[in-house]
Structure 1
Amino acid sequence: MSKVIIMTDSNSGITQTQAKKMGVVVLPMPFYINEEMFYEDIDLSQEQFYEKLQAGGDIKTSMPLVGDVTDKWDELLKEYDEVVYIPMSSGLSSSCETAYMLSQDYDGKVEVVNNQRISVTMRQSVIDAKNLAEAGKSAKEIKDILEAAKFDSSIYIMVDTLTYLKKGGRITPAAAALGTLLKLKLVLQIQGEKLDAFAKARTVKQAKNIMIEAMKSDFEKRFDSADGRNINLEMAYTHDLEAALAFKEEVQAAFPENEIVLNPLSLSVSCHIGPGALAIACSKKIDIK
């Protein structure tokens, strides 16, 4: 049986400390802030990131450096037979495609998973991959299982401010100005490849209800699991844990059969939507056997 190690990047939201406890490897994502490069969770904490974001810093996301990726693979292959690498969704970054091209030089020892995940759903994929490896699956088998389930997930995100969507060019200045004037709360969705608009709400309460009802619909119609027993339910937030914990109580009341895992939203998403965002996410459970 091959000795398989699971590797991901910090878009999964898994910290370096958590990775050590989980027995996986996390490649820190690079960010350029006012032209200076930082690595997530290495020399850029969540607090530092939001301080710089709210101070108006020029923040740009970046792909992992090619050398950082291949050097880590080379290091891991000295101890392990195979590497399963789970980067962020190919629909949100070209880093997945680049990693796949690099993996072609490794004679099947590195398998790059393109299962269209980001943040908390990506985190779940890492957990699933780890469990599959422990069950004796090869790197290729793990890749195939995760990719077969790539559309079995949903994320709904309530954006508290339109400032950062405007700054990133994802909405027009006019739309942002009108939305701000009307105090609209935009609800975004990620189902598969891209981040798209889902709904507009006049209040935070209405936005929360929209997300909960959308998730209930997904449970029943997309995943054929109205009671949620076959679903991993997750939540995420940006820079406001108190609001996230309060929302968690509402979500738990709506889904009493599900254990909810709450984590900060990964910084690569946060820089485009800003602080104060709340998210519900889910992924269909994978049969490890």
Structure 2
Amino acid sequence: MSKIAVVTDTNSGITREEAKKLGVYLLPMPFIVDGTEYFEGVTCTYEHFFEMLEAGAEVSTSQPSPESLTAMWEEALATHDSVVHIPMSSALSGSCDTAKALAAEYNGRVCVVDNKRISITQRESVLDALTLAEKGLTAAEICVQLENTAYNASIYLAVNTLELLKKSGRVTPAGAALATLLGLKPVLQIQGGKLDAYAKVRGMANAEKTMLKALEKDLQTRFAGKKVHIAAAYSGDIKPALEWRKTIRKYFDDNSIELYKLPISICCHVSSGVKALGCFEYFE
């Protein structure tokens, strides 16, 4: 049986400590604060990022350099036969296409998965890749399996402010100003890799109800009869997020539902105070 290394990036929400326990190679995603480049979990902590954001810093995101990516692959291939690389969705970043172009030079030893995921769903893809590798699948076979199940996941998120989305051009200044004036909280969804508007409601409490009902509908339709995990996510302060997890667990009568931090690269666009909810099929 060939020895397969699984490589991903911090857009998955996996920390360096978790990656070490899982045996996963983790590429830290770069982001820029007031013109200075940082790397998630390496040169900037989650807490420090939000301190800078709170102080009014200008933030943006960037792709990993080709050199950092190939260096990680070379490290993995020194002790493994092949690599399964799981980046964030190609619909949200060019990093996946860059990885695919670089992988072409490795004669099939590096397989890049474009399974349209990010955050909690990308994290599940990493866990699925490890499961499939244990079952004896090749890197190419794992890639096919993950891409075939790319759309078997769903994420909803309620944004507390539209300011950063306005700066990145994902919402117009007029739309952001109107939503703020009316106290509207946009509920966004990620299905198939793209970030789309789902609903606009008044206040975070109504946004939470909207997300719960949306996921319940998904479970009764798209995922009916299928084995899925539900997970919650947040940005910024963990205290309201813990209450959010408590609400979700009660609503779905499931105390196993876990809570994860949204990666900094997402927070650069959605800021703090985000509450998210998602579900995904998984391999056993």
- The TM-score with structure 2 as length reference comes to 0.97
SS in 1 for 2:188: strand
In the TM superposition, 1:28-43 aligns within 5 A as: 28-43=28-43
Distance 2:162 2:101 in 1: 36
Who is 2:232 aligned against? 235
Q: Report the residue type matching 1:201 in the other structure.
A: V
Q: Does residue 173 of structure 2 align to residue 173 of structure 1?
A: yes
Q: Report the residue type matching 1:140 in the other structure.
A: A
Q: 1:233–1:283: 8 Å Cα contact kept in structure 2? A: yes
Question: After the TM superposition, which parts of structure 1 deviate over 6 Å for at least 4 consecutive aligned residues?
Answer: none
Q: Report the residue type matching 1:268 in the other structure.
A: S
Q: 1:232–1:258: 8 Å Cα contact kept in structure 2? A: no
Who is 1:63 aligned against? 63
Q: Deviations over 1:15-71 (max 9, x none)?
A: 111100111111001112222111110001101111122222121201110000011
Runs of at least 5 residues in structure 2 that lack an aligned partner in the other structure:
none
Distance 1:217 1:12 in 2: 25
Who is 2:253 aligned against? 256
Q: Report the residue type matching 1:284 in the other structure.
A: E
Shift of 1:257: 4.4
In the TM superposition, 1:195-274 aligns within 5 A as: 195-225=195-225, 230-257=227-254, 259-274=256-271
Name the Cα RMSD after superposition: 1.1
Q: Does residue 193 of structure 2 align to residue 193 of structure 1?
A: yes
Shift of 1:258: 6.6
- The TM-score with structure 1 as length reference comes to 0.96
Shift of 1:193: 2.0
Q: Does residue 53 of structure 2 align to residue 53 of structure 1?
A: yes
In the TM superposition, 1:148-187 aligns within 5 A as: 148-187=148-187
Q: 2:245–2:258: 8 Å Cα contact kept in structure 1? A: no
Q: 2:132–2:142: 8 Å Cα contact kept in structure 1? A: yes
Q: Report the residue type matching 1:245 in the other structure.
A: L
Shift of 1:285: 2.1
Who is 1:133 aligned against? 133
Who is 1:6 aligned against? 6
Q: 1:4–1:81: 8 Å Cα contact kept in structure 2? A: yes
Moved more, 47-56 or 123-132: 47-56
SS in 2 for 1:268: helix
Who is 1:117 aligned against? 117
In the TM superposition, 1:79-94 aligns within 5 A as: 79-94=79-94
Q: Report the residue type matching 2:212 in the other structure.
A: I
Q: 2:25–2:76: 8 Å Cα contact kept in structure 1? A: no
SS in 2 for 1:239: coil
Q: Report the residue type matching 1:231 in the other structure.
A: V
